[in-house]
Amino acid sequence: MDRPQRIAFAASDSEAAQQALARMVGLYGQRALEEAEVIVALGGDGFMLQTLHATQDMAAPVYGMNCGTIGFLMNEYDVEDLPERLAAAEQEVINPLSMRAGDAAGQVHQALAINEVALLRAGPQAAKLRVSVDGKMRMEELVCDGALLSTPAGSTAYNYSAHGPILPIGSDVLALTAMAAFRPRRWRGAILPKSAVVRFDVLETAKRPVMADADSRHSVRDVLWVEIRSEPKVRHKILFDPGHGLEERLTREQFV
């Protein structure tokens, strides 16, 4: 992109991020989000997700600077030469997942998830799920602590902790991963095309309550069913320093 003149800064509530915000605004000024050519998010991955969700209807891309603990979606924090770094940055475009979840009260909830949609047991008993893909039942009964559907951008987050595969950006696939699967005991999940529509039906809901969660931002308790698909109409634009984009990070993560 051209050397930006209008930069909007946003920061998490952490002391380190707030100190970084004061330094950045002092050096480069502050524009309203609606006027910005680029948005700089100061914090960790959680704040980056929050910023992407909050600005999804804006044209400006988001450039993250790591003031948190993990920072997989973030660039290295440095106050020097920020306009030049932004001009040289490489852009990745990712689509979120769309979740529709029906609960025991008859309500249907909708939410977007950049990383993953997860179903989690909400009681002492393991969850019992029926799994369908594109209207065809693929697994009559999955007994587990939970299951999730992850985007490539989120494949190194909760999905990776659950021993799911790391997905390269641009691969147009999603990862379906079980957490502590009891039956089928050796089932390790599936890689599905990005166009797939995945539906979970919760079995024995009174005995085995389940909650659904989108990016740890929107949780629905006592779900009866959850339907998940990629949402191509929403395009999150993320900027990375050259050589440090998601593609490189995903590859590097597999050799540590």
Q: What are phi and psi of 33, to 5 degrees?
A: -55, -40
Distance between CA atoms of residues 114 and 18, nearest Å: 25
Cβ atoms of 247 and 168 within 8 Å: the answer is yes
Pairing of strands 146-150, 108-113: unpaired
Write out pLDDT tens, residues 186-228. Answer: 888 999 999 999 999 999 999 999 999 999 999 999 999 999 9
If you search the block for the tokens 């890689």, which residue do you land on?
A: 191
Query: What pLDDT score does 251 carry?
Result: 77
Q: For position 252, what pLDDT does the model report? A: 77
> What is the pTM (predicted TM-score) of this model?
0.88
In the sheet with 210-214, reading across from the earlier edge strand, the strands are 190-193, 173-179, 146-150, 116-121, 210-214, 218-220
pLDDT tens, 104-158?
999 999 999 999 999 999 999 999 999 999 999 999 999 999 999 999 989 989 9
* DSSP state at residue 3: -
Q: Is the peptide bond before 83 cis (omega within 30 degrees of 0)?
A: no
List, by residue number, the catalytic residues. 45
**Do 94 and 114 meet the contact criterion of CB atoms below 8 Å apart?**
yes
Nearest-CA neighbor of 246 among 112, 108, 52, 105? Answer: 52
Question: Distance between CA atoms of 26 and 223, rounded to whole angstroms?
Answer: 48
C-alpha 150/C-alpha 219 separation (Å) is 16
